[in-house]
Amino acid sequence: MRICEFQDRGLTPYPAAADLQQQLAERRKRGEIPDQFLIVEHPHVLTMGRNGHTENVLAAPEVLARLGVELHHINRGGDVTYHGPGQIVGYPILDLRDWKRDVVEYLRTLEQVIIDAMAEVGVTGERNPGKTGVWVFAQGQWRKVAALGVHLSRWVTTHGFALNLDTDLSYFRYIVPCGLTEPVTSLRELGVEAGRAEVVAALAHHFARAFGFQLRVLEEIHS
């Protein structure tokens, strides 16, 4: 069984997480380390994917500055999204040559990991046909609970997913999330009482199962 090193780094500023991902991805390409799976939580930040549209940021720069929300343009796919406290962000750094050389299958598998983890805490996550991410159908409409956006370089992945646990959803009003008009929700808003540690453990378990990994939990990350 393939080894994947796992670490929950907790609250991590977005630039530090981006730098770490890049370092690990380069080392993974050189075969110096096995696959990696990082879990983090970010301070308030907006990230704009390479296909993003600036008009989907609804707040002026001075408003974002007053709110303490940073804006970073990054190389993942997709449009603008929000990260902040109460959100579980997963960054897999995987060499897909050792799994399947199929980006669409990779996205669908990440979605399934989140759907399976949500089931453990009592929520039915679903796919909204034609729209990447994990959704629930509640109160007569689709609501997005997890966003996905990835980047591949020589088949090594960076970026990943963001699952709203007990996120302050009011921050999403400053953007058109991922360029979509459907509302967002969180596990807490859906009645989930499980804490962060329980949800992270469920995600780690289903991630390892879905990709055929044995997880090696790290106390300290490679430097």
Which residues form the catalytic set?
Answer: 178
Structure tokens, 215: 């997880």
Tell me the three-class secondary structure of the chain, residue by residue. Answer: CEEEEEEEEEECCHHHHHHHHHHHHHHHHCCCCCEEEEEEECCCEEEECCCCCHHHECCCHHHHHHHCCEEEECCCCCCEEEECCCEEEEEEECEHHHCCCCHHHHHHHHHHHHHHHHHHCCCCCEEECCEEEEEEEECCEEEEEEEEEEEEECCEEEEEEEEECCCCHHHHHHECHHHCCCCECCCCCCCCCCCHHHHHHHHHHHHHHHHCEEEEECCCCCC
Query: Would you say 117 and 199 are in contact if contact means Cβ atoms under 8 Å apart?
Result: yes
Structure tokens, 135: 């959704």
Amino acid at 223: S
> Cα–Cα distance between 84 and 14 in angstroms, integer?
10
Backbone angles phi, psi at 100, to 5 degrees: -140, 135
